[in-house]
Chains A and B, each alone.
Chain A
């Protein structure tokens, strides 16, 4: 626009500017309207609890009287004197380090088999996916019964084969592996995602690799794995987050398994973590302090610690993933 034309068009541009500003105003109002539920939700159900947790972690609070400020006492007890927290942390680390890789490997393996199956793929897919639909409570109850050391079908079948079955949920050494078995039974979700990703790998990549003389294992290493690496990352992150929240199966299993050796109405027995604290995971431990004993201040300290760890670990995984995850289009 020339100088003259610009001045001649000045009121028009001003009019345009005003119109644009009004439009921008309307857009902002619209965005506010659309985002409003989440803005409220985020502040009330995310921001507020975070701040309150930090505050409560410096208090002694049992919900019967107002919070009493005790400074760092909760943290001192947590890091120095609590006899159980070490076991809770170790158990949670165990379940993450063991279950997540096993689940990913297992899901990937099953997906590869399914991808290769030409006939009946739909039937098998349903069979492998179905257990993932089972509600965790129901699945855990079923497994505790099935793995009952005396009368459960697994040990009965094993004894027919001449093998003495372990005590499963009644043994501190076998209770976590039993939970891992339960977890592997439910990999259907992850498996479906892997299946889709594996089927999505472009065929021509395999062909060119084959032409280059790559055998089946090398093809997997250099074609399949890199191409589905975003899905692997996704499963690992989801698995780690789930591991840090692992509660339901541990709670139900320890209650039911211990109920087989003692009784439910008599509450002098604390069943969480049965047997011998081997199923006492961090969230279960937090629940025990926060909602059985109502030491809400201490439970808040535990949750602050969990938050810090969860964040750091997730960040660590994602940042490190840049080294081995290839997103579509970046294939060498």
Chain B
């Protein structure tokens, strides 16, 4: 057997029958994929088509717009303060994401690379916080913000993110555990204090995880509906895009063509960001699942 092991494996061409079977299986697989992909794309296609129809056409049994009404997209901007909504969403997302990063990275570092008594207990608390449905804490928090007169704006949405986010802490900690101690030791030997190690070495090494956390935080806050509903619904000046979109139909008499156009506009930024940062997206999602 040693002689055989020393020589490289020779791949023989499998017999024709096997090849045929494999080919048919591949074709079947591909056909299923195409059908599934078509069903996944169909809603997008319907949205696009409807956003180019006139209102009466949208309410009829026509599937194809004729003529193509590109003005719908302009009309959306004229009928609703989309720019203001987008600005509100940006303020919320950017400030919240910044807060998540600034507050969660140090915590994750402390939970992963420094030995201290009670570390495991603290991490356990993070896990417990992870499992808590936010719906549960909503009532007392609302009362608190109401008493502070901050309801009606974005403050109740942004501020909690500056005090750590359990999911981000979890993800960053899991990733930081995989950093080889040698890098940190080398920095320590060079005379770096722990904080400087964190700010320079760890930050650079944990970039994929940090990118993933930033991306998820941005996406989550961009799509957030429940909390903005609670805190900004009464004040249209501070509506983010999602609230604006859900109220768009009742302000302007359910014109489905315009509503679909607005829907498309709201979906667009996320999809654009995705195409620009595809790699980071997929890596990030994988990180959560595989390390989780």
Contacts and interface: CB of A to CB of B under 8 A. Distances in A.
Interface string A103-140: 00000001001101111000011111111011111110
Interface in A244-275: 244-245, 247-248, 251-252, 255-256, 259-260, 264-265
B157 interface: no
A231 interface: yes
A280 interface: no
A94 interface: no
B33 A114 contact: yes
Contacts of B249: 141, 256, 259, 264
Nearest to A28: B116
Interface string A270-314: 000000000000010010001100001001100110110011001
A128 B36 CA distance: 8
A40 B162 CA distance: 10
Chain B: interface secondary structure?
Answer: helix
Contacts of B178: none
Contacts of B36: 110, 113, 128
Contacts of A28: 116
B143 interface: yes
Given A34-B110, A311-B131, A193 B286 contact: yes
A127 B164 contact: no
A264 B249 CA distance: 9
A198 B104 CA distance: 31
Contact of B135 (A126, A234, A306): A306
Contact of B122 (A35, A37, A299): A35
Given A27-B114, A189-B285, A296 B139 contact: yes
A156 B63 contact: yes
Contacts of A151: 58-61
Closest 6 A/B residue pairs (Cβ): A41-B163, A193-B289, A38-B164, A49-B137, A52-B140, A264-B250
B206 interface: no
Interface string B82-116: 00000000000000000000111011011100101
Contacts of A156: 61, 63
A185 B289 CA distance: 19
A41 B135 contact: no
B195 to A, nearest CB: 7
A206 to B, nearest CB: 14
B179 interface: no
Contacts of B143: 52, 56, 61, 63, 296
B140 A56 contact: yes
Interface residues on chain A, size class: 35 or more
Contacts of B41: 127
B263 A38 contact: no
A41 B242 contact: no
Contacts of B219: 133
A288 to B, nearest CB: 12
Contacts of B58: 151
A50 interface: yes
Contacts of A37: 102-103, 106-107, 162-164
Contacts of A79: none
Given A52-B143, A130-B271, A135-B267, A142 B136 contact: no
Contacts, number: 260
B15 interface: no
B136 A53 contact: yes
A160 to B, nearest CB: 10
Contact of A41 (B160, B274, B288, B289): B160
Contacts of B46: 142, 145-146, 153
Contacts of B195: 30
A177 to B, nearest CB: 15
30 contacts: A31-B114, A31-B116, A34-B109, A37-B102, A38-B126, A38-B169, A46-B137, A48-B140, A49-B137, A49-B141, A52-B139, A53-B139, A63-B146, A113-B32, A114-B33, A125-B282, A130-B274, A141-B249, A143-B43, A145-B46, A153-B63, A189-B285, A193-B286, A196-B290, A231-B289, A234-B289, A235-B289, A251-B225, A296-B143, A307-B132
B76 to A, nearest CB: 13
B113 to A, nearest CB: 10
Given A28-B116, A42-B164, A248 B225 contact: yes
Contact of A248 (B37, B47, B146, B226): B226
A135 B114 contact: no
B285 to A, nearest CB: 5
Interface string A166-200: 00000000000000000001000110111011001
B50 interface: yes
Nearest to A50: B137
Contacts of A119: 30
A45 interface: yes
A325 interface: no
A44 B163 CA distance: 9
Contact of B163 (A40, A129, A153, A234): A40
Contacts of B223: 135-137
Given A139-B43, A299-B139, 5 more contacts: A50-B137, A128-B40, A231-B290, A234-B289, A296-B143
Contacts of A190: 289
A145 B256 contact: yes
B180 to A, nearest CB: 19
Contacts of A185: 40, 43
B167 to A, nearest CB: 10
A209 interface: no
Nearest to B133: A245
A52 B137 CA distance: 9
